[in-house]
């Protein structure tokens, strides 16, 4: 605006009146005593000082040319500098090239432009040209290059500059050496950074801040905090930048006590007026899990910027409070704050968590309006959101059109397919990714392993294990956990345990996977033993751990133990129950036959029971043939969701009629099955028609005898060598008759048969089942 007035007046009024109106600027310029007064006093020089955008610059240039000032070094250098600042290296270079007698200053300015606005390699090329042209570099020229080396992680180049500086006798220059420390830290060579730092003859606040930020950014939070104390021991007081550098580290290790003491210091110094300091405080509290304190600071801070909003919204999203995250996001839009890519990613995260497709699509439109579609990270978040909302089709379309896909994009898609049960698509996508020479990472492998686990096919599982080993990703704790889970899901529970035992580092999900594995295999004792081991270790159980252990107790009939776990969850670990925990408890009580207790448990729940709770009640009523409670549960179920009620009825009917008659070998299988049934009947098997009603008597036996699991076992026996264990997977609960029949088959055929049903594993061997007829 100031420039606009000046531009207007420059064309109409004498120079002197304009110059007198900007005496402060003129004074600054006058200090540059090597510049002739007629140049620095010229109004065009003042205009350039006030210039704030490329548009204004383009308006000023004709005036400079018209006044014959274009030949003056001051103007040439200033133009090069401004073009660089506004990001146009082309125009800067055009001005630079047109200068016939270039002075050192314009070389230095051009170098700065290249180092900051172009690839660091262009910076080095220009540096070489400058040397060839006989221009001697000054110390600060190296600092431009060092910054670029740090940003691009170019250690080799950085070390060259380091050597150059030492050779030129700048080893004691605090400014240059601080740049070196920063460069090593950014290149993740924090030890090298520290070696340079300790050799400083005198340490000022800036170099301390550099090394503190270096440790913080390299994940060494404790060391960063330690250095702040050390710095204070040397009589230096942390400034806002020290605070902003160290707080993320405090948050990362969740050290609330240290965070609070820093907060106290900030308060005493009055630093909370700095928006960035308050923002860093909010971030720290959120990362330490103290959402309320973070929110209070956020609500009363002045000068909230988009980063503050982003941190707050993401804080809620990360803590699972999607509703509050989205509420805040809308408030931000209402306040007229323009979202950035980070905002959008946090909001999409919240949409995905709450499976809110409608809002997700609104944000998708917003992405286009804001012109954020070239941001690959934002597009990756959209892919994840659509996958989570079961719209893999839309996600795949976005992926197809995505320019500059990253590994994250591929991972999001693979995970999406895996989570939506599209195992084949997941594997195909993985194959395409490798064909394009994109190297998988631990995230890729976790998704692929999870997808393969779905199949419950042991040989596939072993194949993926081999693949993981070949890609050298088998050291990652999450990959190993996925493998433990996979072996358990493929029925190889002892292999799972062997892998678990071999792990030197275990995450809470690792324990959960193993406990759940024992649970679904009916090894309740092992699950309880493992939980005890966990309680004595360093890893704290979470709400999923309790879900696994309660369900393990349920599968093995350890009702009292299950009840105890449910109570210590809240009392000892302060973990609140979710709807899944209530469902697991109803299952625990109901399955063991304590149906009235289960019903009372539902009536006494502090929150409204949802579908899963009544579903468990209905299932238990069915097992124990309690029609009265079963109907009550079913009624509540239909009220909550009529469609799901239909699903349950369908489930019951399908149970009796499922078959694999489509199979090409069906005739052969049916014939074989007939002889098999005869053989097990000879061994004492009696067909149970109890579970089928409304069908004519003579058809009943035939229907039961052709249940899908019997057909599948027959298929397995026909197609594998004698003695090979047979793995069967069933998406419903195994029926009583099939269970009995399978026991007999395992005896007469001398085969180990592993059946995975909707809830658990059954290991049949020599006429008995691992579930002890309890499931």
Partner DNA sequence: CTAGGGTTAG
Select the residue interacting with DNA from 24, 27, 34, 257 (CB under 7 A): 34
Residues 329-368 that bind DNA (CB under 7 A): 340-342, 345-346, 349
737 in contact with DNA (CB under 7 A) = no
For DNA, give the closer residue by CB, 33 or 675: 33
Burial of 141 (0-12, 13-18, 19+ CB in 10 A): buried
The secondary structure of residue 490, as a DSSP letter, is: T
Q: Quick one: 115 or 484, whose CB is closer to DNA?
A: 115
If one asks whether residue 24 binds DNA (CB under 7 A), the answer comes out as no
Give the tokens for residue 690.
């109890």
Do 94 and 113 form a contact (C-beta atoms < 8 A)? no
Residues in 54-93 at the binding interface with DNA, rule: CB under 7 A: 77-78, 81
Residues 276-305 that bind DNA (CB under 7 A): 276-277, 279-280, 283
CA–CA dist 774, 771 (Å, integer)? 5
Q: Does 173 help bind DNA (rule: CB under 7 A)?
A: yes
SS3 768: strand
DSSP-derived letter for residue 168 is: T
Phi-psi region at 32: left, alpha or beta (left = phi > 0; alpha = psi -120 to 50): beta
CA distance 726 to 741: 15
Q: Is 242 left (phi over 0), alpha (psi -120 to 50) or beta?
A: alpha
Interaction of residue 450 with DNA, rule CB under 7 A:
no
Q: Among residues 588, 586, 610, which one has the least CA distance to residue 599? A: 586
CB of 611 to DNA, least distance (A): 29
Query: Which one of 329, 443, 761, 764 is in contact with DNA (CB under 7 A)?
Result: 443
Question: Is residue 248 involved in binding DNA (CB under 7 A)?
Answer: yes
> What would the 3-class secondary structure string for 470-485 be?
HCCCCCCHHHHHHHHH
Q: With contact defined as beta carbons under 8 Å apart, do 501 and 468 qualify?
A: no
Smallest gap from Cβ 566 to DNA, in A, equals 33
The window from 234-242, 501-509, 612-620, 657-665 that contacts DNA (CB under 7 A) reads: 234-242
Could you say whether residue 174 binds DNA (CB under 7 A)? yes
For residues 388 and 353, the answer to whether their CB atoms sit within 8 Å is yes
Asked if 384 is part of the footprint of DNA (rule: CB under 7 A), the reply reads: yes
Closer Cβ to DNA, 359 or 388, answer by number: 388
How big is the site for DNA, counted in residues (CB under 7 A)? 65
DSSP helix/strand/coil, 259: helix
Smallest separation, CB 105 to DNA (Å): 3
Least CB distance to DNA at residue 551 (A): 28
Q: How many other CB atoms sit within 10 Å of the CB of residue 527?
A: 28
CB of 411 to DNA, least distance (A): 4
Q: Which residue of 60, 75, 92, 112 would you call a contact of DNA, by CB under 7 A?
A: 112
144 near DNA, rule: CB under 7 A: yes
Q: How far is CA 752 from CA 492, 682, 764, in A?
A: 12, 20, 6
**Shortest approach of DNA to residue 295 CB, angstroms?**
16
Q: Which is closer to DNA, CB of 353 or CB of 749? A: 353
- Give the shortest CB-366-to-DNA separation in angstroms: 17
Site string for DNA, 395-434 (x = CB under 7 A): -----------xxx--x-----------------------
Residues facing 726 on adjacent strands: 753
> Exposed (0-12), middle (13-18) or buried (19+): which is 632, by Cβ within 10 Å?
middle
Rounded Cα gap, residues 631 and 637, in angstroms = 9
Helices (H), 340-455: 341-353, 357-369, 376-388, 392-401, 407-419, 423-435, 442-455
Residue 746 binds to DNA (criterion: CB under 7 A):
no
The stretch among 16-24, 107-115, 578-586, 631-639 that binds DNA (CB under 7 A) is 107-115
Q: Cα–Cα distance between 556 and 528 in angstroms, integer?
A: 11
Tell which one of 179, 363, 468, 530 touches DNA (CB under 7 A).
179
Cβ proximity to DNA: between 176 and 617 the closer is: 176
**Residue number, 380 or 453, with CB nearest to DNA:** 380
Residues 201-220 that bind DNA (CB under 7 A): 204-207, 209-210, 213, 216-217
Q: Which is nearer to DNA, 341 or 541 (CB)?
A: 341
CB of 226 to DNA, least distance (A): 17
Query: Considering only 129-137, 241-249, 257-265, 321-329, which stretch makes contact with DNA by CB under 7 A?
Result: 241-249
Nearest alpha carbon to residue 430 among 419, 445, 408: 445
- Residue in 253, 307, 366, 651 binding DNA, rule: CB under 7 A: 307
Give ∠ CA 245-247-248 in degrees, rounded to 5.
85
- Residue 364, Cβ neighbours under 10 Å: how many? 20
> Is residue 620 a contact partner of residue 595, using CB atoms and an 8 Å limit?
yes
Residues that bind DNA (CB under 7 A): 32, 34, 77-78, 81, 104-105, 108-109, 112, 139-140, 143-144, 147, 173-176, 178-179, 182, 204-207, 209-210, 213, 216-217, 239-242, 244-245, 248, 274, 276-277, 279-280, 283, 306-307, 310-311, 314, 340-342, 345-346, 349, 377, 380-381, 384, 406-408, 411, 441, 443
């Amino acid at each position: 605006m100031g420039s606009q007035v000046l531009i207007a007046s420059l064309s109409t009024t004498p120079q002197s009146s304009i110059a007198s109106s900007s005496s402060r600027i003129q004074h600054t310029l006058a200090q540059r005593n090597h510049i002739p007064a007629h140049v620095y006093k010229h109004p065009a020089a003042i205009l350039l000082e006030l210039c704030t955008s490329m548009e204004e610059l383009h308006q000023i240039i004709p005036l400079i040319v018209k006044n014959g000032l274009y030949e003056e070094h001051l103007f040439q250098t200033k133009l090069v500098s401004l073009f660089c600042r506004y990001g146009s290296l082309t125009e800067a270079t055009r001005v630079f090239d047109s200068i016939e007698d270039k002075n050192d200053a314009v070389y230095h300015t051009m170098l700065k432009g290249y180092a900051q606005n172009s690839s660091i390699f262009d910076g080095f090329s220009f540096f070489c040209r400058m040397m060839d042209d006989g221009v001697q570099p000054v110390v600060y020229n190296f600092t431009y290059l060092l910054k670029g080396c740090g940003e691009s992680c170019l250690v080799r180049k950085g070390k060259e500059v380091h050597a150059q500086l030492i050779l030129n006798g700048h080893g004691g220059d605090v400014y240059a050496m601080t740049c070196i420390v920063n460069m090593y830290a950014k290149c993740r060579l924090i030890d090298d950074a520290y070696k340079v730092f300790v050799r400083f003859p005198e340490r000022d606040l800036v170099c301390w801040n550099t090394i503190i930020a270096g440790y913080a950014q390299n994940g060494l939070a404790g060391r960063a905090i330690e250095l702040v104390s050390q710095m204070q021991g040397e009589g230096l007081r942390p400034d806002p930048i020290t605070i902003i550098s160290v707080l993320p580290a405090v948050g990362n290790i969740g050290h609330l006590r240290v965070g609070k003491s820093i907060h106290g210091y900030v308060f005493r110094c009055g630093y909370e007026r700095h928006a960035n300091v308050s923002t860093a405080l909010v971030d720290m509290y959120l990362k330490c899990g103290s959402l309320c304190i973070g929110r209070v600071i956020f609500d009363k801070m002045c000068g909230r910027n988009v980063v503050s909003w982003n941190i707050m919204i993401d804080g809620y999203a990360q803590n699972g409070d999607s509703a509050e995250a989205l509420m805040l996001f809308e408030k931000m839009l209402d306040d007229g704050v323009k979202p950035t890519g980070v905002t959008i990613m946090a909001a999409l995260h919240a949409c995905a968590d709450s499976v809110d497709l409608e809002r997700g699509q609104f944000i998708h439109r917003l992405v286009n309006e804001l012109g954020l579609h070239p941001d690959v990270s934002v597009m990756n978040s959209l892919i994840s959101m659509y996958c989570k909302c079961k719209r893999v089709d839309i996600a795949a379309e976005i992926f197809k059109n995505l320019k500059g896909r990253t590994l994250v994009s591929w991972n999001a898609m693979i995970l999406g397919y895996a989570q939506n049960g599209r195992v084949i698509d997941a594997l195909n996508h993985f194959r395409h990714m490798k064909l394009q020479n994109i190297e998988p990472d631990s995230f890729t492998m976790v998704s692929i392993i999870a997808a393969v686990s779905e199949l419950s096919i042991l040989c596939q599982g072993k194949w993926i294990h081999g693949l993981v080993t070949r890609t050298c990703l088998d050291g990652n704790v999450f990959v190993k956990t996925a493998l433990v889970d996979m072996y358990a899901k493929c029925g190889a529970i002892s292999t799972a345990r062997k892998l678990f035992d071999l792990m030197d580092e275990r995450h809470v999900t690792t324990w959960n996977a193993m406990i759940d594995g024992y649970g679904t295999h009916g090894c309740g004792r092992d699950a309880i033993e493992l939980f005890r081991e966990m309680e004595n270790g360093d890893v704290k159980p979470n709400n999923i751990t309790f879900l696994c252990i309660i369900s393990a107790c349920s599968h093995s009939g350890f009702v009292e133990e299950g009840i105890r776990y449910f109570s210590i969850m809240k009392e000892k670990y302060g973990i609140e129950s979710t709807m899944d925990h209530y469902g697991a408890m109803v299952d625990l009580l109901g399955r063991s036959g304590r149906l009235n207790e289960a019903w009372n448990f539902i009536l006494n729940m502090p929150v409204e029971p949802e579908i899963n709770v009544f579903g468990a009640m209905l299932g238990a009523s069915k097992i124990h043939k309690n029609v009265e409670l079963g109907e009550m549960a079913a009624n509540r179920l239909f009220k909550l969701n009529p469609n799901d009620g239909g699903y349950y009825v369908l489930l019951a009917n399908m149970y009796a009629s499922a078959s694999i008659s489509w199979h090409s070998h069906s005739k052969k299988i049916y014939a074989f099955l007939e002889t098999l049934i005869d053989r097990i009947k000879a061994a004492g098997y009696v067909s149970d028609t109890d579970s089928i009603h409304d069908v004519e008597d003579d058809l009943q036996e035939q229907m039961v005898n052709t249940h899908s699991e019997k057909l599948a076992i027959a298929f397995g026996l026909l197609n594998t060598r004698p003695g090979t264990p047979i793995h069967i997977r069933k998406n419903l609960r195994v029926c009583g008759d099939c269970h009995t029949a399978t026991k007999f088959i395992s005896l007469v055929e001398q085969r180990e048969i592993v059946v995975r049903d909707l809830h658990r594993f059954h290991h049949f061997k020599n006429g008995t089942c691992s579930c002890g007829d309890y499931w």
